[in-house]
Amino acid sequence: MPKPAINCANSFRSHLITLEFTRKKGEYLVSKNMIVRRDIEQIYKGLWLDACCSFEQFIEQLFIGLLVERYSHPSKDVVPRITFHSDAIATDIICSGNKYVDWLPYDRTEKIAVAYFKNGLPFKSLDQSEKNIIKDIYQIRNAVAHKSDYSQKLFQEKIIGSLALPPRDKFPAPFLRTVFRVSPSQTRYENYVIEMASIATKLCQ
């Protein structure tokens, strides 16, 4: 019997909570002078890449899960055009000879979704602001994962822009540690992770 699609989002959210425990432990160690700024920035890089990879994995698990009827979506508007008997078959066909599917940038997910779901739903249900958030997440991920001049230039132009930050904080890891809001206290990393979780939940409802 298919499980509710929200289970897929809940699993993703649980993983993000685990990452948050690690982040808080790292910040505690900094506050006690047990590790230095360079160390905590390395921790943020690792956490960020993990969160982003987990978000892509969530998209794939929901996508494939709906096609093999492992998950059932509460919206009657979500209708697979075709169903498969196994993950392996569904994955092979969607990959079209490639080893894996790049689900980000998100417009790739939308393009694939149109072929396999009526009206591309639920993957075409995000509004522009949510898609812009995913775009920012993707660009920050690239800036963390790749040291190319191009990825760093995009990060400076698209993410930093005109933000009034000290020069030291205009790099990916320090940027993720900067304060997004004071009350309640929240870093930009925390804000983006919360947005990821919110988007995941929306796709499953």
Residue 144, SS3? helix
Reported confidence tier of residue 47, pLDDT bands at 50, 70, 90: very high
For residues 154, 60, 119, 92, the Cα torsion angle rounded to the nearest 10 degrees is: 110
- Give yes or no for residue 32 having a pLDDT over 80: yes
pLDDT at 162: 87
Question: How far apart are the C-alpha atoms of 11 and 13, rounded to whole Å?
Answer: 5
pLDDT at 183: 87
Distances (CA, A) of 4 to 43, 54, 88, 118: 34, 19, 21, 19
92: CB partners within 8 A, 6+ apart:
none
Prediction pTM value: 0.95
Q: 111-165, pLDDT tens digit by residue? A: 999 999 999 999 999 999 999 999 999 999 999 998 889 999 999 999 999 899 9
Question: How far apart are the C-alpha atoms of 190 and 25, rounded to whole Å?
Answer: 14
- Give yes or no for residue 1 having a pLDDT over 90: no
Number of structural domains, the chain?
1
Q: 156-198, pLDDT tens digit by residue? A: 999 999 899 999 999 999 999 999 999 888 999 999 999 999 9
Question: How far apart are the C-alpha atoms of 205 and 201, rounded to whole Å?
Answer: 6
**137 membership: H or E segment, kind and range:** helix 128-145
Q: 58-115, pLDDT tens digit by residue? A: 999 999 999 999 999 999 999 999 999 999 999 999 988 788 889 999 999 999 999 9
Q: Residue 37 is part of which domain span?
A: 3-203
Nearest one of 96, 9, 22 to 54, comparing CA atoms: 9
